[in-house]
Structure formats: C-alpha cells, structure tokens
C-alpha cells in the first residue's frame, strides 16, 4: 500500500460543483481544467487525448449517475485526480443508460498501474453507497464533498 487513497489524492481545489458541460467532451474539458489547478499536468493536450482515447475504446460511464473518465499519460508524473458534480445529468453512455452527475477523473503516468487501480477501487467502493451518492449530490461546497469522501 503506497497510501494512494482519496485522502492523499484529493484536495478542496480538486473538487468542483456545478459543472455546466452538456456533453461528454465538455465535461472532460471542465474536469481537465480542475485537474490542471494542481499544477501537475505538464501537457494538457496530451492529457486530454489520453482521456478521450480511453472513452473512445469504452465509455467510463458507470452506474448510479457516476462516470470515471481516466487516462494514462506521460503528461503527469504521479496520479492526478479530481471530482466534479454537474447540476444536470449528462449522457455519458453509462452502463445503466442513466445520465451521470458525479464525475471522477484520474490521470496516471503510463508506467504505473498500482496507485491508479487502488484509487479506482476505493472510489468504486465508496459509490456503492446510495447514502454517500446522495450526500455528494446534495453538498453545497467542495469542503463538504471532501468530508463525505474521506470520513
């Protein structure tokens, strides 16, 4: 365990409410802008391409209104993650065909799979809880979301 969990990866600045994008691509661009605030993305175009290529292979829309767009790219040296919540559901080609409102994006270095998989495992565990999902959708600040995710 390298301790790559939600607490170590997410900060208040990597969480955003009120995403406005109405399409998959618009949401991904908003998430990239949030992730870029970390200062850890060396090449935004390359990061974007890695996420869109991954979406083209298979949609990252999960169930329960959650999508986890992600990419592997040399544009980052360590795992970078962010979370966005949209006011309106966005069609993300989800498994249950429901629109998505909670988006968790990760960018990880091409060579390392451990931290990325560990983070996704934690995320998926978290979102099996309907209680947590509705708490996140009801949250009015990124601090509140951070607290829900790390409690």
CATH number for the domain that contains residue 100: 3.40.930.10
Q: How many percent of the chain have pLDDT more than 70? A: 97
Using only C-alpha atoms, what is the Rg of the chain?
14
Query: Does any domain span residue 1?
Result: no
Among candidates 117, 104, 133, which has minimal Cα distance to 15?
Answer: 104
Structure tokens at 27: 């949401």
Domain span holding position 120: 6-150
Under 8 Å between Cβ of 105 and 69: yes
Query: Does any domain span residue 40?
Result: yes
Residues in the chain: 151
Q: How many separate domains does the chain show? A: 1
Report the C-alpha gap between 108 and 129 in whole angstroms: 26
Query: Does any domain span residue 35?
Result: yes
Angle formed by the axes of helices 130-138 and 142-150, to 10°?
160
Eight-class DSSP state of 110: T
| Least-confidence region, from 59-68, 85-94, 117-126 | 117-126
Query: Does any domain span residue 38?
Result: yes
Query: Does any domain span residue 54?
Result: yes
Q: How many percent of the chain have pLDDT more than 90? A: 72
pLDDT at 2: 45
Query: Does any domain span residue 97?
Result: yes
Residue 1 banded pLDDT, cuts 50, 70, 90: very low
pLDDT at 4: 58
Under 8 Å between Cβ of 66 and 124: no
pLDDT at 128: 84
């Amino acid at each position: 365990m390298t301790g790559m969990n939600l607490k170590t990866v997410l900060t208040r600045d990597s969480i955003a409410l009120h995403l406005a994008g109405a399409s998959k691509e618009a949401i991904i661009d908003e998430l990239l802008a949030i992730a870029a605030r970390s200062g850890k993305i060396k090449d935004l175009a390359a990061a974007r391409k890695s996420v869109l290529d991954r979406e083209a292979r298979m949609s990252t829309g999960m169930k329960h209104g959650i999508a986890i767009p992600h990419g592997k790219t040399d544009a980052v040296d360590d795992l970078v993650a962010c979370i966005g919540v949209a006011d309106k559901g966005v069609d993300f080609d989800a498994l249950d065909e429901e629109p998505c409102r909670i988006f968790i994006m990760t960018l990880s270095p091409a060579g390392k799979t451990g931290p990325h998989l560990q983070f996704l495992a934690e995320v998926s565990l978290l979102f099996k809880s309907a209680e947590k999902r509705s708490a996140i959708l009801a949250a009015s600040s990124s601090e509140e979301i951070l607290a829900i995710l790390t409690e």
